[in-house]
Amino acid sequence: MSTARHHDDPVLDHARHDFPLLRADSSVSQALESLRRQDIGDRIVYFYVVDENERLVGVLPVRRLLTGDPGQRLSEIMVPHVVSVPVGATVLEACELFAMHRFLALPVVDEGRHVVGAVDISLFTDEVFDIAERQEVDDLFETIGFRISALRTASAAGAFRIRFPWLLVTIMGGTVCALLAGAFQATLAESLVLAFFLTLVLGLGESVAAQSIALTIQALHGGRPTLGWYARALRRELATGLLLGVGCGTLVAALVALWEVRVALAVGSSVALSLAGASLLGLTVPSVLHALRLDPKVAGGPIALAMADILTVLLYLAAGTLLIGGT
């Protein structure tokens, strides 16, 4: 199937209906016996569990059902939090859910949480693949993500709607930086050299943040970030940021010293701190956006760079005020 040709179709037009529903109060043995009497199709990887009112209450992977104790209730072994596709969704919206959550199938539900269909990954690909081959499945999800990006940017108006709101963050960040500069105008008036190097320091902060963003987004391709992963990445990025900050700060301070020695310490120290902060922002912002199911590729840059600019200006001018003078 070509997703590009059908992305505006109602997802229900492409949903499958040859799937069984299992009762949450059934035992594993009762569920297996029920399945033996039904036509369950040829590509079932999840079973959907409903309550006495036929409302969706859980999802049950096939492996969990087959390895469950015969006397266990399905409500004990099912996964209660189910990602589902609303009945009014389009194929493109379902495609986004697949790429975001990386499941092999999703139920389609109505307003009352009744299952009216199911869509699996074959909706978006004509390729035959072995689900045991994890790399093939991961590659497939990445391909779906690329298709979403292509569809989303096909229209100039559509691209504007997606990207413009995040650029407002850049405008807000620039406004805050301007207000900070105004608050520290006495410091800037005290040392014109400090004003000369502000653009350079801002550029360094943005460059380091952009590097961290790119590396973080690449690392997030494998799935949602965990606290353990974030803690390890935070330690690594903090160490890297400090090394970059000390290296760049020393070099910039040496350059500033050619003009005014007393300003060099303020510039060098603020560069060291702001680059460490920019590294952490470049890691944290995309990670949080990814965890919130927002696209870090579109939103991460403007948010992280705006925050890095604000942090850089604040540290730079505060260090100048502390070490040079002016209020």
Per-residue tens of pLDDT for the chain, all 327 residues: 444 446 677 888 888 887 788 999 999 999 998 888 876 655 667 889 999 999 999 999 888 898 889 999 999 999 988 889 998 888 777 877 776 777 778 899 999 999 998 888 766 554 333 433 444 444 444 444 444 454 455 566 766 776 777 788 889 988 998 998 888 888 887 777 888 888 889 999 999 999 898 888 877 765 566 788 889 989 999 999 999 999 999 999 998 888 888 788 888 999 999 999 999 999 999 888 877 767 777 777 888 999 999 999 999 999 888 877 654
Within this chain, do residues 299 and 202 fall inside the same structural domain, yes or no?
yes
Q: Is residue 129 domain-shared with residue 250, that is, in the same domain?
A: no
Bridge partners (DSSP) listed for residue 254: none
Which residues face 90 on adjacent strands?
10
Domain annotation covers residue 54 = yes
Select from 150, 182, 199 the last residue of a domain.
150
Q: For residue 265, give every residue at least 6 positions away whose Cβ sits within 8 Å of its Cβ, in sequence order, or none.
A: 253, 323
Whether residue 289 contacts residue 225, with contact meaning beta carbons closer than 8 Å, is answered with no
* Residue whose C-alpha is closest to residue 194's, from 40, 319, 41, 58: 319
> What is the CATH classification number for the domain harbouring 58?
3.10.580.10
Q: Find the domain containing 229 and state its range.
A: 160-323
Domain boundary at 150, 172, 206, which?
Answer: 150
Same domain, 203 and 301: yes
Residues 6+ apart with CB under 8 A from 107: 48, 56, 59, 82, 84, 85, 115, 117, 118
Q: Based on the domain organization, do 121 and 238 belong to the same domain?
A: no
The residue among 150, 185, 206 that closes a domain is: 150
Is residue 192 packed enough to be buried (19+ CB in 10 Å), middle (13-18) or exposed (0-12)?
Answer: exposed
User: What does pTM read for this prediction?
Assistant: 0.53
